Chains A and B, each alone.
Chain A
Amino acid sequence: MSKRIVIDPITRIEGHLRIECETDGGKVTKAWSSGQMWRGIENIVKGRDAREVWLFTQRICGV
């Protein structure tokens, strides 16, 4: 019998991660991983002065 397990939030990482998996007879048969937060930094840097783009992209992750 398949069982669905959701682990959200995944802790001790940077950002907001969600893992879902389907198990069958104690074995994982399918799994999904998804980032649960979006800031749209790609859209923020579009059309910007190239010299200041680092200021934003550098802050995608602070770890």
Chain B
Amino acid sequence: MKNKDFKVLSQHLGGVSRRDFLKYCSIVAAGMGLPLGAGAQIAEAVVNPKRPPVIWLSAQECTGCTESLLRATHPTLEHLILDLISLDYHETLSTPSGHQAEEARAASIKANKGKFILVVDGAIPVKDNGIYCMIAGRTALDILKDTAKDAAAIIAIGSCSSWGGVPSADPNPTGATPVHKVLADAGIKTPVINIPGCPPNPYNFLSTVLYYVTFKKLPELDKLARPMFAYGRLIHENCERRPHFDAGRFATEFGDENHRKGYCLYKLGCKGPETHANCPSILFGDTGAGTWPVGTGHPCFGCTEKGIGFHKPLFSRASLHMVTPPDTYPHTQEQQGKGATIAGVVVAAAAAGAAFAAVNKVAGKLGEDEKGKK
């Protein structure tokens, strides 16, 4: 990126230097597992005046997703979103209210048909024709269907729009439905990316937007339409308390001695072993080590996983998908030519024992048969 291009942008960035801006773009690229040069490409895309605008619709939400985004403190990220990503409609952040806000949305959709990114936070209530969420006299259901068909791509931010979240918890009083399901039922084929979390990590959202803006395609997604770079691994795999799990050291009650020592929270209902997210790697709030739920001593409740957060009881134990007690790891390199090992002898003895038992059994049976014949 040339210096003169950056000057256009610097007025929006509140005194952030070109160096810091490029550094930030490189961090975003690294966070997504992209090669080194991608940071520069992202920077170019961000300053491109033809970048797509963002329209943000809110349905059954608590504004937590927006709040977490605004609290991101890497080089003035709110500017990145508000000015650079040209956010054309957002109920919480728009200056105009009422019909003026609605007109701005309609105008942007018309001008950017097929090009804008639609972000949705909150679940969509479908019960009783969607009357449980109304904006400007229309149901959220109606507005979503209307807007989604003209969008280039849709990002469902937060657990509510990804899986239904809080409002969909049993007994789901309003028929709260995730965005991808509303669209599938209406036959709208615009691609949907899910960024679940309650709240989701703002960097996962920003990285996804920047990836799309830069490469004009969606990042690699898992089978639940979550970006692989952020939701590719279980929390359990990167958890700082994992060694305690492997060693069998567990907290069994809040405030007990083991809890104070920072032992594994699995027995308190931690859903880390069945929840995919990068929380232990990128943490929250940019305030240093340990700033994520497990780090503060509370079990993960599985907000990024479909059917876990808000659905599975908070203190019930997680199902283990990867049980790897350390004693059963195979050797990475087998020793060669040293004769019989203890393990080898044990296996051979066990095999011999089994064979012996089998022979005995057969013999026994033969005996029985013979007895029967008599």
Interface residues of A (CB under 8 A from B): 6-16, 18, 36-41, 43-44, 49, 51-52, 55-56, 59-63
- Contact A62 B64, CB 8 Å, known A11-B95, A14-B92, A37-B133: yes
**Contact, CB under 8 Å: B169 / A56:** yes
Q: Does B83 lie at the interface of the complex (its beta carbon under 8 Å from any beta carbon of A)? A: no
**Given pairs A40-B132, A56-B166, A62-B68, 4 additional interface contacts (CB within 8 A):** A40-B174, A56-B310, A59-B62, A59-B198
CB distance from A17 to the nearest CB of B (A): 9
A21, chain B: closest CB distance, angstroms = 12
Contact B63 A55 (CB under 8 A): no
Tell me the total A-B contact number using a CB cutoff of 8 A. Answer: 109
Whole-angstrom CA separation of A23 from B227 in the bound complex = 51
Check B154 for interface membership: any CB of A closer than 8 A: no
What residue of chain A has the Cβ atom nearest to residue B139's Cβ?
A36
Interface of A is mostly: loop
Partner of A40, one of B65, B135, B167, B315: B167
Given contacts A39-B60, A59-B198, A7 and B171 within 8 Å (CB-CB): no
Tell me if A38 and B92 are in contact (CB < 8 A).
no
Contact with A along B198-210 (1 / 0, CB 8 A): 1100000000000
Picked from A8, A14, A39, the residue with its CB within 8 Å of the CB of B98 is A8
The docked-state distance in angstroms from the alpha carbon of A16 to that of B136 is 9
Counting CB contacts under 8 A, is B129 at the interface?
no
A38, B60: Cα distance in complex, Å:
7
Partner of A36, one of B66, B68, B102, B135: B135
Evaluate whether A62 and B98 lie within 8 angstroms (CB atoms) in the complex, with A37-B134, A43-B173 already known.
no
**Which of chain B's residues have a CB closer than 8 A to the CB of A6?**
98
Kindly name the residue among A7, A11, A38, A43 whose own CB sees the greatest number of chain B CB atoms within 10 A: A11
Q: Inside 8 A of B173's CB, which chain A residues have their CB?
A: 39-40, 43-44
Which residue from chain B places its CB closest to the CB of A41 in the assembled complex? Answer: B166
Are B174 and A9 touching (Cβ within 8 A)?
no
Interface residues of B in 36-79 (CB under 8 A from A): 58-68
How long is the Cα–Cα vector from A49 to B91 in the complex, in angstroms?
35
Query: Which residues of chain B from 133 to 181 have any CB-CB distance to chain A below 8 Å in the complex?
Result: 133-137, 140, 166-167, 169-171, 173-174, 176
- In the bound complex, do residue A11 and residue B310 qualify as a contact, i.e. CB atoms below 8 Å apart? no
Contact across chains for B63 and A52 when beta carbons are under 8 A apart:
no
**Given contacts A16-B58, A39-B173, A61-B62, are A9 and B135 in contact (CB under 8 A)?**
yes
Contact of A37 with B97 in the complex, beta carbons under 8 Å: no
B364 within 8 A of A: no
Q: Is the CB of B63 within 8 A of A11?
A: no
Provided the pairs A16-B58, A39-B132, A44-B171 are in contact, do residues A11 and B315 lie with their beta carbons within 8 angstroms?
Answer: no
Whole-angstrom distance between the alpha carbons of A15 and B122 in the complex? 10
With a CB–CB cut-off of 8 A, which chain B residues contact A7? 97-98
Establish whether residues B132 and A37, one from each chain, have CB atoms under 8 Å apart when the complex forms. yes
A63 to B140, CA, bound (A): 21
Report if B231 contacts A (CB, 8 A).
no
A62-B65 in contact (CB<8A): yes
Flag if A9 contacts B171 (CB, 8 Å).
Answer: no
Chain A contacts of B166 at CB under 8 A?
A: 39, 41, 44, 56, 59
| Alpha-carbon separation in the docked complex, A61 to B199 (Å) | 12
